[in-house]
Amino acid sequence: METRIDPYVDTYATRTMGMKASAIRALFAVANRPEVVSLAGGMPNIADLPLDVIGTMIGDLIKARGPQIMNYGSAQGDDRIREQICEVMREEQIEAHGDDVIITCGSQQGLDLVTRTFIDPGDVILAEAPSYVGALGTFAAYQARVVHVAMDEEGIIPEAVREATAAVQASGGRVKFLYTIPNFNNPAGTLLSVARRQELLAVAKELGILLVEDNPYGLLGIDVPPQPALRSFDAEQVVYLGSFSKTFAPGFRTGWVLAPPAVLKKLVLAQESATLCPPTFSQFAISEYLSTWDWRAQIASFRDMYRIRRDAMLRGLDDHMPAGATWTHPKGGFFVWMTLPEGFDADQLMGRATSHRVAFVPGTAFYADGLGSRNMRLSYCFPTPEAIYEGTRRLGEAIKEEAELRATFGLTIPRTQPEEIAP
């Protein structure tokens, strides 16, 4: 194939150097093959949505109000949906006013707007270790320096926030905000305890650090009811990101940010320059859905569906993983975080796993600093429970084979490539 030199190579902005293909998107081609059980993607399983009801509802909406709902709207988003979002957030004990909410193109755009609003190149963002790969991508695109903060089974460790902040300050850096996913962390599956929430807020207040609370999974607790959001304890110290992607459908690309008034003003200006306004049509469709359908019952049925899948994965891991492997036991959300036995490397294992027809995301994708090589993210949201169980069996086989090769060849294990997938 002819190699073409990019004529614009000297022209790109420096920030493009931080833009990389997401590890998850890179896996898509392999993970989507029909013979592969994908424990890689985090696609919400929305097959249970009442598609005929939604179809009729949207059709009626267009007939009744098409010229309005298919036109431009305000940069902050429609008033009615912002009020309805406050009702949704009440499930997590948040008291807010629609004026303090801005609608975004998914919470991913919320992350973009918040980062654009606060970050100059070189500024520091504290982020849980591990952290959501899409947030790390956004932070890199704005040339932030990400400093990871340790977590344990109870979520981020407040004392570690203090230590990380002191280290950043000692090196002359400036922490702009701390990014956290308190509910069913992507990828770790952890849930921040209520006591820790209060401790974290106290530390953040003392250090003057804004908390960015990213919460797409908060209503998808499997074993626990919705937890009080960080924002429910403090309206000034927290910028809260929400989304309809997991509780309704991601294709509408509708999320929101709830922020203190001064921050919100900046976010509206940022939204104006980014998109003029968030998608009007999606907002009206969701607004109608929320007012005509029992969305709480719908979320409860999603929770039941994910419970069965989570249980299939945990059963499969118990049955098939070798001694020395450990994993989290999520109480909700989509993800299990596995730590391989000493000496294993998840990136290296990937080719062998795909030849066993199972895909996962290697842990290094979720760190800005190259850590996570013994970890992998396993998602249970999308495949059938039977496929999830079978996926863990295949993964166990791949790990066993890797261990046998390791025993035969010593530490250097020949890499296998995704192309070697059996037909």
Q: Does 216 bind ligand PMP (CB under 6 A)?
A: yes
Whose tokens are 């709480």? That residue is 296
42, 77, 332, 351: residue in contact with ligand PMP (rule CB under 6 A): 42
Residues in CB range of 363: below 8 A, 6 or more apart:
130, 187, 337, 346, 371, 372, 373, 374, 375, 376, 377
For residue 174 the two structure tokens come to 């400036």
- Which lies closer to ligand PMP via its Cβ, residue 160 or residue 188? 188
Report the alpha-carbon distance of residue 393 to residue 37 in Å, rounded: 11
Element (DSSP H or E) covering residue 337: strand 335-339
Count of H helices and E strands in the chain?
13, 14
Report the alpha-carbon distance of residue 31 to residue 38 in Å, rounded: 5
Which residues in the 100-159 window bind ligand PMP by CB under 6 A? 106-108, 132, 134
Q: Least distance to ligand PMP from the beta carbon of 412, Å? A: 35
Q: Does 279 bind ligand PMP (CB under 6 A)?
A: no
- Which lies closer to ligand PMP via its Cβ, residue 188 or residue 325? 188
For residue 422 the two structure tokens come to 């059996």
Residues 351/355/357/360 CA torsion (nearest 10 deg): -10
Report the alpha-carbon distance of residue 70 to residue 78 in Å, rounded: 13
98, 218, 250, 372: residue in contact with ligand PMP (rule CB under 6 A): 250
Q: Least distance to ligand PMP from the beta carbon of 37, Å? A: 20
Q: Does 416 bind ligand PMP (CB under 6 A)?
A: no
Report the alpha-carbon distance of residue 18 to residue 139 in Å, rounded: 9
Which residues in the 170-209 window bind ligand PMP by CB under 6 A? 181, 186
Q: Least distance to ligand PMP from the beta carbon of 241, Å? A: 7
Q: Least distance to ligand PMP from the beta carbon of 134, Å? A: 6
Class of residue 59 by CB neighbours under 10 A (exposed 0-12, middle 13-18, buried 19+): exposed
For residue 200 the two structure tokens come to 């974290």
Q: Least distance to ligand PMP from the beta carbon of 255, Å? A: 4
Q: Least distance to ligand PMP from the beta carbon of 12, Å? A: 25
Report the alpha-carbon distance of residue 266 to residue 173 in Å, rounded: 24
- How many residues make contact with ligand PMP (CB under 6 A)? 14
Q: Does 240 bind ligand PMP (CB under 6 A)?
A: no
CB environment 73-105: b (16+ within 10 A), e (fewer): bbbbbbeebbebbbebbeebebebebebbbbbb
- Which lies closer to ligand PMP via its Cβ, residue 287 or residue 416? 287
92, 123, 214, 402: residue in contact with ligand PMP (rule CB under 6 A): 214
- Which lies closer to ligand PMP via its Cβ, residue 156 or residue 398? 156
Site map (CB under 6 A) of ligand PMP, residues 295-334, x = contact = ----------------------------------------
Q: Least distance to ligand PMP from the beta carbon of 10, Å? A: 33
243, 375, 379, 392: residue in contact with ligand PMP (rule CB under 6 A): 243
Q: Which stretch binds ligand PMP (CB under 6 A): 220-228, 243-251, 340-348, 408-416?
A: 243-251
Report the alpha-carbon distance of residue 170 to residue 276 in Å, rounded: 41
Q: Does 255 bind ligand PMP (CB under 6 A)?
A: yes
Q: What sign has the CA pseudo-torsion 226, 228, 230, 231?
A: positive
Query: Which chain residues interact with ligand PMP by CB under 6 A?
Result: 42, 106-108, 132, 134, 181, 186, 214, 216, 243, 245, 250, 255
